[in-house]
Amino acid sequence: MEIKTDFLVIGSGIAGLVFAIEAGRHGRVSIITKKEKMETSTNYAQGGIASVFDPQDSFDLHIQDTLKSGDGLCHEDVVRMVINEGPDRIKELQSLGVNFTKNSGDTGLDLGIEGGHSRRRIVHTKDRTGHEVERALLEQAEANPNIEIYENHMAIDLITKSKMIKRGIVVSETEETCWGAYVLDVNSGQVITFLAKVTVLATGGAGKVYLYTSNPDIASGDGIAMGYRAGVKVANMEFVQFHPTCLYHPMAKNFLISEAVRGEGGILLDSRGNRFMEKYHPMKELAFRDIVARSIDLEMKKSGDECVYLDISHRGTDFIKNRFPYIYETCLKYQIDITREPIPVVPAAHYMCGGLLTDKNGLTNINNLYAIGEVACTGLHGANRLASNSLLEALVFAKRSAIHSSKYLEENRDKPFPGVPVWDPGTATDSEEMVVVSHNWDEIRRFMWNYVGIVRTNKRLQRAISRVKIIQEEIKEYYWNFIVTRDLLELRNLAVVAELIITCALLRKESRGLHYNLDYPNKDDEHWRRDTVIWL
Catalytic center residues? 289
Please provide the DSSP assignment of 264-329 as one string. Answer: TT-EEE-TTS-B-GGGT-TTGGGS-HHHHHHHHHHHHHHH--S-EEEE-GGG-HHHHHHH-HHHHH
Using alpha carbons, list the distances in angstroms from residue 370 to 42, 129, 202: 19, 26, 9
> Taking CA 21 as the corner, what is the angle to CA 16 and CA 22, rounded to the nearest 5 degrees?
100
CA 240 to chain centre: 10
Q: Measured over all CA atoms, what is the biggest interatomic distance in the chain, rounded to whole angstroms?
A: 70
Strands 343-352 and 267-269: unpaired
Name beta bridge partners: 235: 355, 533
From the list 269, 359, 346, 275, the residue with the least C-alpha distance to 310 is: 269
Angstrom distance (rounded) from CA 215 to CA 154: 18
SS3 category, 55: coil
**Separation in Å, CA 87 to CA 23, 276, 432, 489:** 21, 36, 53, 38
- Intra-chain end-to-end CA distance of the chain, in Å: 30
Which residues are paired to 268 by β-bridges?
A: 310
Strands (E), 42-124: 49-50, 111-112, 122-123
d(Cα 267, Cα 462) in Å, to the nearest integer? 37
Phi, psi at 475, each rounded to 5°: -65, -40
Report the run of H or E that residue 224 belongs to, with start and end. helix 222-230
Decide if 503 contacts 465 (C-beta within 8 A): yes
Three-state secondary structure call for residue 516:
coil
Rounded Cα distance between 349 and 352, Å, is: 9
